[in-house]
Amino acid sequence: MKYLIYRNHTLEHLFKQLEAEYNGYGDLSISTQNAKSLIWFFIPPPNADLEKLCNEIESYKGQLEMLLQENEQHNFILFTISPRLLGNFVDGDTSVLEKVNEFNSFIYQSSQNTSNRVQFLNIDDFLNDYSLDQIFDWKYYLISQIVIAPTLARPFKKWFNQKLNVLANKRKKCLVLDLDNTLWGGILGEDGISGIQIGDAYPGLAFRTFQELLLEAQKNGVILAVCSKNNLEDVQEVWEKNPYLILKEDHFSAVRANWQNKAENIQSIAQELNIGLDSMVFIDDNPAERQMVKQVLPEVEIPEFPKNPYDLPTFFWEVWDNHFKVFELTNEDKAKTKQYIENKKRSQAKNKFVNVDEYIASLEMTLYPKLVDEFSAVRVAQMTQKTNQFNLTTKRYEVADILEFAQKGHLVYHMAVTDKFGDSGITLLSIAKINGDSAEIDLFLLSCRILGRGIETEFFKGLMNQLVERGVKKVNAQFIPSKKNKQTEEFYERMGMELVNTDSSGIKNYVLGLDKAFELSNLYKVEV
């Protein structure tokens, strides 16, 4: 049983796709032992007695509070109460609405105070697309205690699955954008920098609004890139001279404006940014280009582009909700695009040096190693969920798991990195489980955006020194192969660990004796 659903009305038609059990209506006594997550979805019954309705909603709050307290080891998904389901008598009555707001505020506060263990969904996000006649039918309610009509089961399933992806942090990283008839109306090569449609009047206003929304996405951690069949010089000129453009060259972490195959360009962008193709979304108005990229690069997500410019804002929010929205944004998420743009500057600087050590020294890097705490736990858990390439075991953990490791005395060790170009944030993480004078490296990873600067070696040395301080004499470790972590296969060997064996599935087991601390490089400044 993956989910246990607490309800006071019939909900089976909405959650057919889930491996789930249900409580009896309003019964909280059902065992939670075998459930991975608990879902709370109480709906106040249609009732003309407003005082009774207020008491009913108040009782939900008390029941939910008790359920949260008694099941602190479980994850929760809590549904809000929608005033739209309360009946016509509620219109204009503030007492019921106040109780609804109190309940929904309690849900929100619960989600804020439980380190991501408790999350909530606003049911109005779904219901607002439908009229009351579509949502509620007295026939279904009186016969089967169904509040949300069976006709909405299919769209609810789609909506809920999208929300589960959001809650699970299954977020794409990069939005690759065409230019002509996508970010502006018209064709730059034909209409010129002043002839493209972008500005205060329709259809230019629609494209400008689209760019404004994309800029907000960029500020919230979405990497923007350009893939357009155009002359680069023309594109750079329009960025420089057209005053109505919201997005300028500095907003894009990678630019491909040329006449090459777009699939090849997207592959090149992925390589430049060091991200997987499956973390990319490609937007292009041309159906032929979309189809070609879809055939060559099936890992890339390619939504259908709207036929009318006035649909662009709606299109943006569909793309955002389906691919980029997350339950909680960390500071590192918000700074991500700035970091990738800074990486362009680092690559340019690297070309000036023949010697790698000289290049690393020129970056003036500072390392900030720390142990996990309640403030960094969200970012740390997020890294375990999202990091695939330089990740030696690819184990995934929630915030509660991270904090539990720390409470048990295990070493949850992370490091932030800055250099003269900017702040990369927390980008390295290791978890070492300590048992007396021995330890096992359970997890070792770093963000792909800081590869190539030798920091992984220094981080490993720092981890070993932390273990030496704790009296550890022997360290065990594993490399567990995945589809994406091939580049890390020999990392432990390069660090001097002894390969003990390799099993039939490709898992490598290592051991290292610790008798003294590692000497750290003078190429990095370390701030403890």
pLDDT digits (tens, 9 = 90+) for 452-509: 678 999 999 999 999 999 999 999 999 999 887 888 899 999 999 999 999 999 999 9
- The confidence band for 87, taking pLDDT boundaries of 50, 70 and 90, is low
- Give me the mean pLDDT over the 438-444 stretch: 96
Radius of gyration of the chain (CA): 27
- The confidence band for 264, taking pLDDT boundaries of 50, 70 and 90, is very high
Residue 354 pLDDT more than 60? no
CB atoms near residue 413 (< 10 Å): 21
Structure-block tokens of residue 528: 């403890």
Do 174-324 and 337-526 show the same overall fold? no
Share the mean pLDDT of the chain.
87
CB atoms near residue 356 (< 10 Å): 13
pLDDT at site 491: 94
Q: What is the dotted CATH code of the domain comprising 3-167?
A: 3.40.50.1110
Q: Which residue's structure tokens are 């959650």? A: 15
Q: Are 175 and 283 in contact (CB under 8 A)?
A: yes
- By DSSP bridging, strand 438-446 and strand 422-435 are antiparallel
Q: In this structure, which CATH number among 3.30.390.30, 3.90.550.10, 2.60.120.10, 3.40.630.30 belongs to the domain 337-526? A: 3.40.630.30
Containing H/E element for 338?
helix 331-350
State how far the Cα of 180 lies from the Cα of 229, in Å rounded to an integer: 9
Residue 62 pLDDT more than 60? yes
Residue 352 pLDDT more than 60? no
Q: Are 477 and 392 in contact (CB under 8 A)?
A: yes
For the chain, domain boundaries = 3-167, 174-324, 337-526
- The confidence band for 518, taking pLDDT boundaries of 50, 70 and 90, is very high
Q: What is the dotted CATH code of the domain comprising 174-324?
A: 3.40.50.1000
Most confidently modeled range among 51-55, 85-89, 318-322, 466-470: 466-470
Give 387's DSSP letter.
-
- Give me the mean pLDDT over the 51-77 stretch: 88
Question: Which is it for the CA torsion 179, 185, 190, 193, positive or negative?
Answer: negative
Q: Are 305 and 314 in contact (CB under 8 A)?
A: no
- Give me the mean pLDDT over the 436-441 stretch: 95
pLDDT tens string 270-316: 988 888 898 899 999 998 899 989 989 999 999 999 999 999 999 99
How many DSSP H helices and E strands does the chain contain?
A: 18, 17
Sequence-distant (6+) residues with CB within 8 A of 449 are: 273, 274, 336, 339, 340, 343, 424, 427
Question: E strands along 221-285, which residues?
Answer: 223-229, 254-258, 280-283
Q: What percent of the chain has pLDDT over 70?
A: 90
CB atoms near residue 155 (< 10 Å): 12
pLDDT tens string 390-435: 899 999 998 889 999 999 999 999 999 988 877 878 989 999 999 9
- Give me the mean pLDDT over the 65-93 stretch: 81
Instruction: Please name which of 275, 38, 265 lies closest in space to residue 171, comparing C-alpha atoms.
Output: 275
Residue 105 pLDDT more than 90? no
Residue 336 pLDDT more than 70? no
State how far the Cα of 175 lies from the Cα of 16, in Å rounded to an integer: 33
State how far the Cα of 445 lies from the Cα of 456, in Å rounded to an integer: 8
State how far the Cα of 433 lies from the Cα of 441, in Å rounded to an integer: 6
Burial of 118 (0-12, 13-18, 19+ CB in 10 A): buried
Per-residue HEC secondary structure of 256-274 comes to EEECCCHHHHHHHHHHHHC
State how far the Cα of 80 lies from the Cα of 123, in Å rounded to an integer: 6
- Give me the mean pLDDT over the 371-389 stretch: 86
pLDDT at site 109: 80
- By DSSP bridging, strand 498-502 and strand 508-513 are antiparallel
Residue 92 pLDDT more than 90? no
AA identity, residue 432: A
Higher pLDDT, 231 or 356: 231
